[in-house]
Every structure is written in structure tokens, then in C-alpha cells.
A and B are shown apart, each in its own frame.
Chain A
Amino acid sequence: METTTSPIKLTAKDFASDQEIKWCPGCGDYSILKQVQTILPEYVSQKENLVFISGIGCSSRFPYYMDTYGMHSIHGRATAVATGVKVANPSLEVWVIGGDGDLMSIGGNHLIHLLRRNPNLKLVMFNNEIYGLTKGQYSPTSHKGLVTKSTPYGSVDEPFNPAELALGAKASFFARTLDRDPKHQQQIFRRVAEHHGTAFVEVYQNCPVFNDDTFALLTEKETKKEHSIYVEHGKPLVFGQTESKGIRLDGLNPVVVDLTAGVSVSDLWIHDETDKTKAFLLARFADIENMPRPFGVFYQENRACFDEELVQQINRTKDQKGRIPLHKILSGDKTWGIV
């Protein structure tokens, strides 16, 4: 997204619609809405060019609360609708909003194809590891064993690892942040806004009603520093209550090391957003016992965007062949006359 200068600077409030917000009290969605509205004025001077497209689910009510153009579409299909919007009019700024069920379950097919095509749009996945709007069934990101209404004896369903899935589908950008950390969210949303290509961000979001505290280890003061790690490009992977731990790479194996026991910071893994192999390793942390959960931009690359390549192809063809006049299209190449 280009930063544009404008005589009238918009504020976060300008992006809030007049509709009453109907998420449950304490829902993590409020914070995400607020952070998006907060960063947008830095990037958008003409809000008429902004389009929010969502699917179905609690998070998908998001467009109704934005005073921009928007469409609340159908379950799982926001990515497909948004592709059409962006391809038909690449000058629009398109944000896709969805939940884990919406984007990874019913919309799973469209998600992977969106990522491989890499149109220049933003994709925010609210991951609460549960179906909220339908009142509490396990989702494709729920951990195994989760007891829900549809899994009274615990889920026996292996979940997706969203980061791994995204990178496997050739995402050009993947980042993770969480609802309880507004500052980090804003940082990440800025990166999302600045990325050229499909910017996929997973936001851990607490559902206080159906899956409360599922991310408690990562959000509560007592535990979060031990269980999460904030990665930044060019910086070593350090974490822990007193920043006393780090991650070292032993070949392709990440190992937690104690910085108070003789290991120096210079021995640690330095985060490199452009290294896809390491991005995959970071993605794997969620599935490895005792590894902290990474937050930040895992991976970022600049590669061709579908919407732009299509326009380029059209322009090239126009230059080479010229527009075919309608009368020629109607007549075709072979005609005959009857008098």
C-alpha cells in the first residue's frame, strides 16, 4: 500500500461506521478492529478506495463496522470474492477478513489458491481455534483433545498449522500477532499494509465464550515471556522472563539454549525474513514441545502478483495486436454474402 499525502488527514475515527458493534463483551475482535483502524490513516488518504471483504463467522462482521466499502459475503468465499474485486479493479485496496473456520475449513481451497496467485491484497485471519458463531464446535486449528459441543470426548482431529500451510501454499508474506498485544498488532498491520502481494497475518484471538484462555500461556504476564518469542529481522531469537533464553540452530534443528550458561547471543539464530527454509522451521515451533510460540513476520518476499500480471498481459496484447473493433468480432474471419 502506498503512503499518500493528502490535505485532510484521516483519523482512526473516520474508519468507524455508525453501526453498533455486536461482538460479545471481552471478545478479542474489538482489539483487532481498533488496531486496524488505528494504522489505516498512515496509509490511506482516500477511504473510498478501501474495500473490506469477509466471509461468515464472528470476525466476518468486521466490514459492517468499517466506514469504507465492504462486503459480508458467504462462508469461506471471501478470498474468492476479493480476488474478483482486485482483479477487476487493481486500483482498489482490498482487505480480506475471516476466521480460522471460514478461511481454513470451508474456505481452505480458496485460501491456498489465493496464496499461490498472490494478488496484491491483505488477508487477516482471526484464529480463536473454535467455531464461535455456531456456538462452540472445534475448528481446523483446534488442538487435539479439545472438548467442545461436537467433541464431548475430545477432538481426535489433527489441526492445521496455519504458518506451515501458508508457506506450503507459497505465501509471499506470513506474520503472526495476537489480540492482547495492541502495540505488536499495530507493528504487524503496518507491515501488512506495506507488503506488495498477499499479506497473510494470523491473529491469535481469544473467544471468551467458547474457548476462553486457549492462548492464556501466551498472553498472561506470568507465562507469556517463557512461552512466546518475538522475532525481528536481523535480530537474534531471544526470549524468556529475563531474556535469558535463546534459540540456536543445530543444523536444521532449533534448540533452546540458556544464555546464562555460557552460550553467547552471537551463537543464536538470527532471524531472516527472506529465508524460506528458516521460516518453515519457525512455523514448526507450534508443533514442537517446549518451543516458544513465534510472533512477528516469519517470511516476506516480493514476487509477481496475479492481478498485475494479468493487466500487463492485457496491455502487452493490446500493444501487439491492437483492440479488435466490435464489427470485426461480430463478423469473424469468414463471411459470405447472399443477395
Chain B
Amino acid sequence: MSNEHNSHSEKQIEIQDTDSVVVRFSGDSGDGMQLTGMQFTDTTALMGKDISTFPEFPAEIRAPAGTVAGVSGFQIHFGSKEIFTPGDAYDVLVAMNAAALKTDIKRVRKGGTIILNTAGFDTKNLKLAHYPDGANPLEDGTLDEFKVYRIDITRLTKEALKDTGLGMKEIDRCKNMFVLGLLFWMFDKSMEYTITSLQEKFSKKPDLLQANITALKSGWNYGDTTEVFTTRYHIAKATLPPGTYRNISGNQALAIGAIAAAEKAGLQLFLGSYPITPASDILHELSKYKANGVKTFQAEDEIAAICAAIGAAYTGALGMTTTSGPGMSLKTEAIGLATMLELPLLIVDIQRGGPSTGLPTKTEQADLLMAMYGRHGEAPLPVIAAATPADCFDAVYEAIKISIEHMVPVIFLSDGYIANGSEPWRFPTPDQLIPIAPPFSTAHNNTAGNFLPYKRDEKGVRPWVIPGTPGLEHRIGGLEKQHETGNVSYDAQNHELMIKLRAEKVQKIADAIPLLQPDSGKDTGKLCVLGWGSTYGAIKSSLIELREEGVEVSHIHLRHLNPFPKNLGELLQRFDKVLIPEINSGQLLQLIRSKFLTDAVGFNKVQGLPFTTIELKQKIKEVYLT
């Protein structure tokens, strides 16, 4: 950071030039922190910074106000350099009450800025946050290491809006806009975009619109005119590859990836889904596309959701179901049916902390082995995982292509971290998307007799013949079927053959997967970090920092968990050591060790949180040096 002085208004303002900043908005679930964070994100992105966001909220919609359980946070990391994670430590923390400060102070970097809403630190709030009697973090030296701004945001908002005629409750709800205005001032950002989106949001409520805009501007003016603030931050535009960008969350990217794939394949998109955190946003997003013929079906339960998607796939639609861990458990029997039927089907699991209801709003990578093996009988399926929010688009597009072209259900793994997190995305044009060719057939394939619904091509794929096709009427089902004819068969040799054919079909997908290259670093060396899914950003950032320190480590990242890319084993052999960091107790580790007999090492964290760069760096160094 370089400092320079600059005269602004009548006061001395220090402009800090920096290449990246982490801001954390933290408050009560009712304080509107998510909205504030998203508005701040959109404006930041539109101003050409690279970003990565991490919303974190309680499972309860309105946990008791003022308590630690009710704290809702939104973290954004943005800068002029490439950003791969939401950041480890906060440069700026906005704490709307005592509980928010208590929750988040431990991650504010030394010397960092803390903006406090003093109204949230009265005796009642201190007690709700379980500070011991008489203890007050504002007075006991807790904040000595930080640059602290104490502002009665509640009162200032009230002041600003006292003539609006709004009730106290409505006025109080505008205080997040005051915060947003203040932060916009601090980071030298325009309020224009937020004002436009407020106009859209409150188009039918002019009094609320005016109040929100007033609060927003009051926050900005407070920063600009009072003597309190002496620092503003200046961050140059990011040096991202040239192109047109948009900001996108993982679930959004996934939804439009499915729309794009369906359109490219010429299929109707049918989503069967049941509300579950953190997957529901995909259902919400796809439900908006009625004008494009997307059919969304909110089923009575998880089982009906997947069964309806299977029914839709049978008719020749792109069938899709979205859920999280508990829903995956419920869908398991139907996934077996889809495997047996050999129909295309996209099964999306936005992983969250488990088992059981577990940690619904927290992230985890613990469903990998379930995706691999979690069915009765032998029922291998392709498993694909997204690495970042924007990667959800490419990964789901590929998952759908595999599912359709290989007539096989595909399990797609994302998680709460990348599903809700967002980043800039250099989106493709439609013509950049590779074609998808459904294996539809209307031709009789057996001159000697009945149509053969399970006659396979060289890839082991059967034809997709849909109801309505004259002359090819046939029955499919969950009972074991005779090779080619599809008739029910209990024959011993036939069963073994069919088990083998279904498994081979999945293995042959590897022929269509590109060979794996290291994401960064050489393809041989002392140590490689092998990751999958949402650990991508943390691994990437760690290795960039380590490289600056002269430690050369390679990064290999897996999108295809089943089948693996063909050269994975050979690639791993070229390294002395393999380290596998996962947000579980070592699931990919187990797969890699058993498949390649490699003495890989795991680094595991199961806290409902992603890796920090610091902890990952430390582990990588430790393995590198031993």
C-alpha cells in the first residue's frame, strides 16, 4: 500500500492505494446485510474490479435479534489483481451490533478498520451477545489494535428520515442504506447503480424509494463532510483478460448453464425440485424462464421431484433435479432407477454440512463418496464437480452433454460456498458453446423382429426412443433387463453382463474427456496439490503466494471425479508427493489411494467453512519441506 495525501472538501483525506481489500458487512439477520453486500458487489464489479464474495447467514430466517446465532455476514474481496477467494482476513468490518463484532472481530487484520453502529452496543445488545456483565468491547481495549469508527448509524438514519412520515420500523430498516452510502464514499464508488436498482425495487412504493435513497446519500455525505473519516481507498481496475463480464453466483451460473445446454441440444428443459437450502435458488432462477418454455415443477417431496424429472426424460426432455445432501439421500432409489433405465438426467447436489440436517447454510464437500457409491447394487455414474461460481456454467454444460450423449444420469456436485458466492464471469456467446447431440432414434434397429431398446453403439449407448414414436413401442423398467431386448430377465449370466455393460458405458466417457493438465505449475516436480470442487480458489491463491516466496508447487484440479481423466494416474506419478485438501475427512484421498496406490496425503477441514489461504499455505509448505 502506498499512501498519499490529497485535499478533499476542507479536510485532509488520505488516499490509500491498494491492490485488494476484504470488506465484511456483519449484522443481525434483519439488518439487510445480504442486500447491502450484494449492492456493494454489483457496483464494485461494474467498476471493473475482480471480486469474490461469500455470504454467510444463519439457518434460521430470523434467529433471536441481537444474538450471535442471528448474525448474518456478507464478505467481499475485490481488487485490481486476480482474486480467487473471498479472503482470509477483513480489512474493513462493519459491525451493526455487539453480536456481529463478537462473531467477526477475530478475523479483522491487525490495523484494520472497524465501523461500529454504537446503537447496537447498549446494555441489552451486550447481554444478548453474551458479553459478561459490565464488559464492553468498546471500552475494554478489545479494539486497541484497530482503526475504529464509532457511529450511531441508527440515530443518524432516524435523523435523516424524520420528515419522511415513515414509521420507526421502516426508518430503522433503511440503516443498511446509510452503511452502503458510507462504504461507497470510502471506496470511491458511484451510487448510481444502487439508485437505479432501488428505483426498480420500490417502483410502486415512492415513499420507501425516497427514504432509501435519502439514507444512502446521507451515508455518503456523512463520510464526505464529517471530520471523522480521514482515509479513502483507491483501487485500480483489475487486469482481467479483455472481454465482456458480468457478476454471477454459482447457482445462477448453473441455472443458465442448464438453459444453454437444453437450447443447444434442442430439448425442452424440465426441472423437478423441492425447496432445500442451498439449492432453492436454482429453482427460483429457472422458474423465471417460462417464456423460453422452461418447465419447473415444485414437487411434493424430493422423491417426486426426481421421479417427475425421470418421467420428463423418458418423453425426450432434458430432465433435471436439484437438491442438497438430505434430498440426495431421499432421491437415491430413483437415481438407481434412472441408472437402470439408462436415460439422461442431471442430478444436482449443492453440498452442505451433514449428516442429517447438519449445517444447512454452511459448506462442505462430504457427498463425494455418496455420489460415487451411494446406491444399492452396483450403479456407477459420472460425477462432475464445479470449481468456482462461474465454473458452474461450464461444468454443468459439460455434465449435461455427457448425460445426453451417453444416456446416463450424471451427478453434479457444487456446494454452499460457490453456490452463493459470486465472481466476475467472462460469459461466452452462444456460438462458442459446443454442440450437444441427443441420440434420438425413430428407426427400427432389428429387421429380424422387435425393436431393441437396449442395443448399444460403440460407446455402449442405447438409442433414445421416446413415446409418440410409431412402431417402436417398448417397455422399460427397474427390473433387470435382457441384453438388447430390454425384456425382464432373471438370467444369471445376463445380469452379470448388464452390470458390466452399464459400468463400461460410464468408463468409456473418459474417451470424451480432455487429458488433464496442471492448472498451474509444472507437470512434474516435488509436490502437487490435487483438488476438486470449491477448494480451487484457496489452492490457487496459496500457490501464487508460495511461488512469490520461491516455493514451486503444481496444482491439479479435477472436474471429472468419475470417470477420472485417463492420464490422472500417470500425471500424479510424476510428483514425489501429492497433497489433497478437502472440506471433508478425506474422500477424494480415499479414491485416489485405492485407484492408483499412491501415497497421497490429505489435508482436511470439516467446519462448514472453506479453507483460508493462510492455513492451506502453511500445510503445503509443511508437506513441501518434509
Choice from A68, A323, A338 contacting B245 with Cβ under 8 Å: A338
**Assembly CA distance A83 to B295 (angstroms):** 12
Asked if residues A63 and B477 are in contact (CB atoms below 8 Å), the reply is yes
**Assembly CA distance A70 to B341 (angstroms):** 12
* Chain B CB within 8 A of A18 CB: yes
* Chain B CB within 8 A of A84 CB: yes
Asked if residues A87 and B473 are in contact (CB atoms below 8 Å), the reply is no
Q: Which residues of B contact A48 (CB under 8 A)?
A: 467-473
* Chain B CB within 8 A of A334 CB: yes
Shortest CB distance B62–A (Å): 29
* Chain B CB within 8 A of A221 CB: no
* Chain A CB within 8 A of B301 CB: yes
Shortest CB distance A252–B (Å): 32
* Chain B CB within 8 A of A266 CB: no
Known contacts A72-B477, A74-B333, A74-B337; decide if A318 and B307 are in contact (CB<8 Å): no
* Chain A CB within 8 A of B384 CB: no
Shortest CB distance A44–B (Å): 12
Q: Which residues of A contact B47 (CB under 8 A)?
A: 336
Q: How many A residues, CB 8 Å from partner?
A: 61
* Chain B CB within 8 A of A152 CB: no
Q: Which residues of A contact B237 (CB under 8 A)?
A: 338
Q: Which residues of B contact A332 (CB under 8 A)?
A: 246, 248, 427
> Contacting chain A: which of B159-167, B312-320, B522-530?
B312-320
Asked if residues A71 and B314 are in contact (CB atoms below 8 Å), the reply is yes
Asked if residues B307 and A88 are in contact (CB atoms below 8 Å), the reply is no
Q: Which residues of B contact A68 (CB under 8 A)?
A: 473
Asked if residues A83 and B304 are in contact (CB atoms below 8 Å), the reply is yes
Shortest CB distance A170–B (Å): 14
* Chain A CB within 8 A of B256 CB: yes
Asked if residues A72 and B430 are in contact (CB atoms below 8 Å), the reply is no
**Assembly CA distance A62 to B140 (angstroms):** 77
Q: Which residues of B contact A318 (CB under 8 A)?
A: 290-291, 293
* Chain B CB within 8 A of A80 CB: yes
What is the 8 Å Cβ interface bit string for chain B, positions 297-326, against chain A (1 contact, 0 not)?
A: 101110110011111111111010000000
**Assembly CA distance A63 to B479 (angstroms):** 13
* Chain A CB within 8 A of B487 CB: yes
- The listed residue with most B CB atoms (<10 A of its CB), out of A18, A49, A72, A313, is A72
Q: Which residues of B contact A3 (CB under 8 A)?
A: none
* Chain B CB within 8 A of A331 CB: yes
What is the 8 Å Cβ interface bit string for chain A, positions 263-300, against chain B (1 contact, 0 not)?
A: 00000000000000000000000000000000000000
Choice from B256, B263, B308, B473 contacting A81 with Cβ under 8 Å: B308
Asked if residues B310 and A84 are in contact (CB atoms below 8 Å), the reply is yes
Asked if residues A70 and B475 are in contact (CB atoms below 8 Å), the reply is yes
Asked if residues B430 and A330 are in contact (CB atoms below 8 Å), the reply is yes
**Assembly CA distance A139 to B428 (angstroms):** 56
Asked if residues B334 and A74 are in contact (CB atoms below 8 Å), the reply is yes
What is the 8 Å Cβ interface bit string for chain A, positions 74-99, against chain B (1 contact, 0 not)?
A: 10010111111111110110000000
Interface residues on B, range: 35 or more
Known contacts A72-B479, A330-B429; decide if A80 and B299 are in contact (CB<8 Å): yes
Q: Which residues of A contact B476 (CB under 8 A)?
A: 70-72
Asked if residues A88 and B315 are in contact (CB atoms below 8 Å), the reply is yes
Residue of A nearest to B237 (CB): A338
- The listed residue with most A CB atoms (<10 A of its CB), out of B45, B46, B477, is B477
Known contacts A318-B293, A334-B42; decide if A64 and B469 are in contact (CB<8 Å): no
Shortest CB distance B284–A (Å): 15
- The listed residue with most A CB atoms (<10 A of its CB), out of B244, B246, B311, B314, is B311
Asked if residues B304 and A317 are in contact (CB atoms below 8 Å), the reply is no
**Assembly CA distance A79 to B300 (angstroms):** 12
Q: Which residues of A contact B208 (CB under 8 A)?
A: none
Interface residues of A in 112-141 (CB under 8 A from B): 113
Q: Which residues of B contact A314 (CB under 8 A)?
A: 290-291, 293, 295
* Chain A CB within 8 A of B272 CB: yes
**Assembly CA distance A324 to B290 (angstroms):** 10
Choice from A80, A310, A331, A337 contacting B307 with Cβ under 8 Å: A80
* Chain B CB within 8 A of A23 CB: no
Choice from B42, B259, B487 contacting A19 with Cβ under 8 Å: B487
What is the 8 Å Cβ interface bit string for chain B, positions 324-366, against chain A (1 contact, 0 not)?
A: 0000000001101100010000000000000000000000000
* Chain A CB within 8 A of B478 CB: yes
* Chain B CB within 8 A of A175 CB: no
Interface residues of A in 17-35 (CB under 8 A from B): 17-19
Interface residues of A in 29-83 (CB under 8 A from B): 46-51, 53, 56, 63-64, 66-74, 77, 79-83
**Assembly CA distance A91 to B476 (angstroms):** 20
Shortest CB distance B308–A (Å): 3
Known contacts A109-B301, A314-B290; decide if A64 and B246 are in contact (CB<8 Å): no
Q: Which residues of A contact B193 (CB under 8 A)?
A: 334
* Chain B CB within 8 A of A261 CB: no
Asked if residues B428 and A330 are in contact (CB atoms below 8 Å), the reply is yes
Q: Which residues of B contact A56 (CB under 8 A)?
A: 478
* Chain A CB within 8 A of B240 CB: yes
Choice from B244, B248, B334 contacting A77 with Cβ under 8 Å: B334
* Chain A CB within 8 A of B105 CB: no
**Assembly CA distance A82 to B310 (angstroms):** 9
Known contacts A89-B468, A336-B46; decide if A324 and B289 are in contact (CB<8 Å): yes
**Assembly CA distance A19 to B481 (angstroms):** 13
Residue of B nearest to A325 (CB): B430
**Assembly CA distance A51 to B259 (angstroms):** 27
Asked if residues B301 and A331 are in contact (CB atoms below 8 Å), the reply is no
Q: Which residues of A contact B245 (CB under 8 A)?
A: 335-338
Residue of B nearest to A61 (CB): B488
* Chain B CB within 8 A of A110 CB: yes
Asked if residues A69 and B474 are in contact (CB atoms below 8 Å), the reply is yes
- The listed residue with most B CB atoms (<10 A of its CB), out of A48, A73, A86, A88, is A88
Choice from B247, B268, B308 contacting A83 with Cβ under 8 Å: B308
Shortest CB distance B70–A (Å): 31
* Chain A CB within 8 A of B242 CB: yes
Asked if residues B307 and A338 are in contact (CB atoms below 8 Å), the reply is no
Asked if residues A47 and B307 are in contact (CB atoms below 8 Å), the reply is no
* Chain A CB within 8 A of B48 CB: yes
Shortest CB distance A233–B (Å): 32
Known contacts A336-B45, A338-B240; decide if A324 and B292 are in contact (CB<8 Å): yes
Asked if residues B477 and A71 are in contact (CB atoms below 8 Å), the reply is yes
Q: Which residues of B contact A89 (CB under 8 A)?
A: 315-317, 467-468
Shortest CB distance A191–B (Å): 24
Asked if residues B475 and A338 are in contact (CB atoms below 8 Å), the reply is no
Residue of A nearest to B488 (CB): A64
Known contacts A321-B291, A324-B292, A336-B45; decide if A64 and B311 are in contact (CB<8 Å): no
Residue of A nearest to B449 (CB): A18
Asked if residues B478 and A73 are in contact (CB atoms below 8 Å), the reply is yes
**Assembly CA distance A317 to B289 (angstroms):** 9
Asked if residues A92 and B467 are in contact (CB atoms below 8 Å), the reply is yes
Cross-chain pairs A/B with CB under 8 angstroms, 13 sampled: A50-B467, A56-B478, A64-B488, A74-B336, A77-B304, A86-B311, A89-B316, A109-B300, A320-B291, A321-B291, A329-B292, A332-B427, A338-B245
Known pairs A74-B307, A83-B311; list 12 more (Cβ under 8 Å): A18-B450, A70-B474, A74-B478, A87-B297, A88-B315, A317-B291, A318-B291, A322-B291, A324-B291, A330-B429, A332-B248, A334-B193
